[in-house]
Structure 1
Amino acid sequence: MHIVVIGAGYAGLAAAKLAARWTDAHVTLINERDRFVERVRLHQLAAGQALRDLPIRDLLEGTRVRLVVDRVTAIDPAGREITLRAGAPVRYDRLVYALGSQADLESVPGVTEHAYPLAGVEQAQVLRSRLAEAEVVAVVGGGLTGIEAAAELAESLPRLRVHLVTGGELGDTLSRRGRSHLARTFARLGVQVHEQAKVISVDDTGLELAGGDRVAADTVVWTAGFRVPELAAEAGFAVDHNGRLVVDETLRSVSHPEVTGVGDAAAVRRPGGQELRMACATGLPAAQQGVRALADRLADREPKPMRFRYLNQCISLGRKDALVQFVHADDSPREAILTGRLAARYKETIVRGTIVFERHPTIPTTL
């Protein structure tokens, strides 16, 4: 039995180590790079801070997982074979699809040519170099990535004039208290917020908005939306309208039962139909439960459906402040929040905890 995991992000790396621990199968992990990327810290890297060097081989030490550093270019489900850019094809008996997500650069004209995404380590490094000579930065996207990036840049590089441009209201998924704290923090940091602003094009002088307004900027940071690789759709796997692998309640592909989907590239849903958001908070427990279900089937046991509930959303607002928004099980906000330095320490503990989890992925997660 050969289990192949493609993608060594938060969910994929954990899945490979769990498969080696919970089954007797040979396990191969395929990833394009040999370093683990702390994606939740990329805004810190862009702002000039140093991140830890985390070789994947070190994180795999003591396991039976074989690492292949190469890019997956195609999947042949009929032959159960994976085509690589440089190496020989790899056959599998079971596949864990964990390729994650990447920035959506095609939804608005000019983004590819003129904007700087923040979804990969190389992208963050390019943006970091660009910021050395920037004066005015427009961060597009009012999600958690955009909020964290705007706050980090404004605090770490106070010489910059920072704009945040969002198609909705600032913090529209937060509680009233959470939105108020976010607004006060951005006012303190000098971040100018543009709400209900739809970007229709990007050029080398800034943004054009619907209605004719413009936001002038010499640097545009693009965090408005993510997309997943097209490999699942190209292979003929059942995917949703966003190209995410459609899985059942045990994280198994609904069209190809030999495939398990975890992380951003899988459309995981709660029993009521709610699609879980792309986040470590989703990916880590999904990796545990998806691989447990796979191991159960290999051992002729009936797998249990995935159980999941959210507890909070943790948003860094620079290094000295953060917002912990406590939420109901369905991710809707409670009024309870935590802010300030205590929240910053809470957020840092959570982020550090993800690496502890990658080293010891059997640590229980909150379900």
Structure 2
Amino acid sequence: MHIALQKTVNFFNPLLVFTILLSFSFTATSAEVNAHGIKPMKVKVVIVSMFEIGEDEGDAPGEFQLWKTRQALTTRYAVPHGFHDIYANEETGVIGLVTGMGIARASAAIMSLGLDNRFDLSQAYWLVAGIAGVDPADNTIGSAIWTDYVVDGDLAHEIDAREIPADWETGYFPLFTHAPYDNADAVDTSNSPNGEVYALNIPLAKWAFALTKNTKLLNNEAMDILRAKYTHSPRAKALPSVSMGAHLSASTFWHGEKLNAWANDWVAYWTKGKGNFVTSGMEDSATLQSLTYLDNAGLVDKDRLLILRTASNFTMQPPGLGAAENLKRESSGDGYAAMGAAIEAAYRVGSQVTDYIVKHWSEVQHSIPNAQ
């Protein structure tokens, strides 16, 4: 473009130069009108879902459908440059976003919304509400877990297990180290330049937990049958409940006893033992990275982020089954007995927070709630 313009000037074509300059001037003026001529919607809560199974309404629900119907998100904002259109309730100030599955889509969707001048997100609360795997040592299917730490499970070195030294438990180890869990003293949970770990606003998360801890969650016979197989874990056999824990965010859908042990060690390493691995999913490290950048630009307040993950499946097999066999059963439907219950739990628990923020907006607009 620079070369072409230089040639035009050299050949003294003033009409073409004038046309180009006029085009640039018109574009700038149009952007200014778009940015300042239309009053953006003041958003109180952003609901972040990761997927929808089919249609947004009227069929088997994914993560978004219950929010769209029950929160009356009827106003559509087209997003041709994204995975899914945004829907809003302009009276309550609640909007709903579907990022698409995976880290790449989530990062793009959050950044796209954050830069969208149709919305004022400067004081908005963000609620990520989606399903996850759950460590049977800590909780059970159908449960809802408020997140305190998010740890990235992708940023790492890896050596194939068939080639690792005999004294290594894993060939997966942190970037800029030379062996599993080196340099543990250098980990800083409040400043992770590569995005390996994020500490959420824990007082806010504790407030959300206190508000919702007595929520009655769904259970069914199929869930009872599945959890009864986990004879080694009293918590896996318990009824669904609301709790808190750390979330491991990784693009790979991993499964099995060995990787479950790695997940616990990985989260403990990156949180310096402050976080306990409870749930696994894909997108949350990407969401946090995008919100961090947007916060740096003054467009959002990342301290207003809440993550609620609800357990649709266990992260490892029960005694007597191999990891591959159990994963196959999950894929065929046997292991997702709690899918519907987990989707319902995300709404039942998360909507209490959403409704509180809307109802008490005059208070929480300027002062973030925290557990007393």
Higher RCO, 1 vs 2 (CA within 8 Å, ≥6 residues apart)? 2
What is the TM-score when the length of structure 2 is the normalising length? 0.25
Whose helix proportion is higher, 1 or 2? 2
Q: Which has the larger radius of gyration?
A: 2
